[in-house]
Amino acid sequence: MTGLHADVRATFTADGAEAFTVDAAFDVDPDESLVILGPSGSGKTLLLETVAGFHPHEGVVTADDRRLSDRPPEKRGFGFVFQDYALFPHMTVRKNVEYGTRYHEETRDAGALLSELGVGHLAERYPPTLSGGEKQRVALARALAIRPEVMLLDEPLAALDVPTRQALRDDLADVLADVTAVYVTHNRTTARAIADRIAVMRDGEIVQQGTPEAVFERPASPMVAEFTGANAVDLSASPSLRALLDGEGEVAEEGDHVAVRPEAVAIDEAEGDVRATVERVLREDATSRVALSFDGVTVDAFSNRPPDVGDEVWVSFPRGALHRC
């Protein structure tokens, strides 16, 4: 089993744009899936492509202590799944999957791989005739055909409709269960579903790494809190929340924020910690997201029986769910 270490620095320039630098380090244990999560423009894809060998860089990339930094992409032993599939339109599905095997001694059978991924019947078709989900399964088969030591996946579900994305996400979780993988996404639902660990990226740097539970429940900064879907409240703007923490012996300081996930916030008509006004109610699948205003700040909560806009309600914040960041 192969582990991966990357500690790279690369600077990118484009016409009329300011130089952008990726400076990041991470480790992936054998059979572990690390998800690099971050907003658009944070450098996620550039980091992944740099590790793959597509861009020159300073630093080092190793797999089980074997230095790969000076090797071209096809000699690094990585399988790469592109966001836009990157299939050859003039080749059949089977030929696409077999394409990379010419550079490797140990390979997997293209037909068997396609069958495992549910697209065996498409082997003699051409990519332009396939749906997005079918193309992505073919791209995944192509990456797996070379028996890669590490899988690198760049937003492979981003262009798919919701039902297809959910189905392929489940299949990916199975495929990656026994593979060392680095997976780039801006989708926090996908990150939680696939990751053994998450690295949050911003402005070319990794700003927090940890288990999904640690990153989502204990964000290191307001940015991480907000990007992972939590409320991040400036304590200087909310006497009510500040009083809750002060009552627990955690005296708030200037610039402190508190993070709390919306699913931990409780709404009640009769009692609670804070009296709030319902500002907005949005339906989200089987529940509703409720925006609650108090002290001039707004927090979100989830409710299966949401109040009406304009209602006055009580809001409770479980002490264990409040995290200083």
Cα–Cα distance measured from residue 130 to residue 158, given in angstroms and rounded to the nearest whole number:
17
How far out from the chain centre does Cα 308 lie?
A: 34
For residues 46 and 20, the answer to whether their CB atoms sit within 8 Å is yes
Domains and CATH numbers, the chain: 4-224 (3.40.50.300), 230-324 (2.40.50.140)
Whole-number mean pLDDT of the chain? 92
pLDDT at position 251, please? 55
Give helix 162-175 / helix 132-144 axis angle, nearest 10°. Answer: 10
Q: At residue 286, does pLDDT exceed 90? A: no
- List, for residues 95-147, the tens digit of each pLDDT value: 999 998 887 888 999 999 999 999 999 999 999 999 999 999 999 999 999 99
Range of lowest pLDDT (48-52, 233-237, 306-310): 233-237
Residue range 216-245: mean pLDDT, rounded: 93
The residue with greater pLDDT, 251 or 226, is 226
Residue of 151, 146, 229, 139 whose CA lies nearest to 190: 229
Tokens coding 104:
């490797």
Cα–Cα distance measured from residue 130 to residue 126, given in angstroms and rounded to the nearest whole number:
7
DSSP string, 146-207: T--SEEEEESTTTTS-HHHHHHHHHHHHHHGGGS-EEEEES-HHHHHHH-SEEEEEETTEEE
Residue 139, helix vs strand vs coil: helix
Amino acid at 2: T
Residue of 85, 78, 18, 13 whose CA lies nearest to 48: 78
Tokens coding 89:
């339109």
**Res. 248 pLDDT band, cuts 50 70 90:** low
Q: pTM of the prediction?
A: 0.91
Classify residue 97 by burial, with Cβ atoms within 10 Å: 0-12, 13-18, 19+. Answer: buried
Cα–Cα distance measured from residue 75 to residue 60, given in angstroms and rounded to the nearest whole number:
15
pLDDT at position 258, please? 94
- List, for residues 142-173, the tens digit of each pLDDT value: 999 999 999 999 998 887 888 888 888 888 88
CA angle 142, 137, 164 (to 5 degrees): 160
The residue with greater pLDDT, 248 or 270, is 270
Whole-number Cα distances in Å, 11 to 47, 56, 228? 11, 9, 27
HSE of 86, CA atoms in CB hemisphere, 13 A: 15
pLDDT at position 60, please? 96
Range of lowest pLDDT (23-32, 54-63, 171-180): 171-180
